[in-house]
Amino acid sequence: MMSSECTRVMFFGLLTAVLGLIATLLGGIAGDALRRRFSGSYFLVSGAAMCIAFPMLLLMVELPFPIAWVAMGGFVFCLFFNTGPTNTILANVVHPQLRARGFALNILIIHLLGDAISPFVMGRIIGNQNRYALAFQSSPSQCFLADCCGSGARATSSATPNWRPPGCPIETRLATQGVALG
């Protein structure tokens, strides 16, 4: 028979996998659906998801379990809802010849600043005084920082609509935007 801790870990893994897959697909679909109405639809969808995720994470930290599972599910959903539009943004702004490197660098940065450094940062916050509440209360600030970065990226993207990689001829840039030449 499994322990209750093992059951909770299994439930969290299942919750993350199922909600993550559904939310990633729905986030991409939402960005595509709004594209005709808003030029920055992928940024809007991504930013809105992160803005909703922020209070969900605050609720998850403050609510007792099992009610906290609802807020945690909402947070996980919103966090992954952000993934589809963010990947679309990356694919749209990186030159096709650099796209694989762009995605690789993105994945590296996400993991370096996320799951690779998290145990160290959380361990330092918790310390010898067992400040678990403080450690988990600091997580929403990181979510808020992601909101701010997304807003800055949206502002930057609209300010540089004609950017192209150095050495990229205008014909290549137009062809990647779907403009037929000749």
Question: Left if phi > 0, otherwise alpha if psi is -120 to 50, otherwise beta: which for 67?
Answer: alpha
Confidence band for 147, pLDDT divided at 50, 70 and 90: low
pLDDT of residue 16: 92
pLDDT of residue 143: 67
Q: Give residue 145's Cα distance to chain centre.
A: 12
pLDDT of residue 182: 43
Q: Could you count the other beta carbons within 10 Å of the beta carbon of residue 37?
A: 8
In 3D, which of 28, 115, 20, 119 has the Cα closest to residue 73?
Answer: 20
Q: What is the pLDDT of residues 76-93, one digit of tens each?
A: 999 899 889 989 988 988
Q: Does 128 or 3 have the greater pLDDT score?
A: 128
Q: Please, how many CA atoms are within 13 Å of residue 165, restricted to the half-sphere of its CB?
A: 14
Q: How far apart are CA 140 and CA 173, in angstroms?
A: 39
Q: How far apart are CA 94 and CA 106, in angstroms?
A: 11
Tokens of 6: 């093992």
Tokens of 30: 């939402």
Spans of all domains in the chain: 4-176
Cis? peptide before 140, omega within 30° of 0 = no
Tokens of 82: 């952000």
Scanning the chain, the segments in alpha helix (DSSP H) are 4-34, 41-62, 68-81, 83-93, 99-113, 118-126, 132-159, 170-176
Q: Give residue 46's Cα distance to chain centre.
A: 7
Q: How far apart are CA 48 and CA 31, in angstroms?
A: 11
What is the CATH architecture assignment of 4-176? Up-down Bundle (1.20)
What are the angstrom distances between the C-alpha of 167 and each of 54, 115, 149, 178?
A: 41, 36, 28, 19
Q: What is the pLDDT of residues 30-84, one digit of tens each?
A: 999 999 898 888 988 988 898 898 889 888 888 988 899 999 999 999 989 988 9
Mean pLDDT of 80-109: 90
Which range among 55-59, 117-121, 139-143 shows the weakest confidence by mean pLDDT? 139-143
pLDDT of residue 24: 94
CB-based contact 38:152 (threshold 8 Å): no
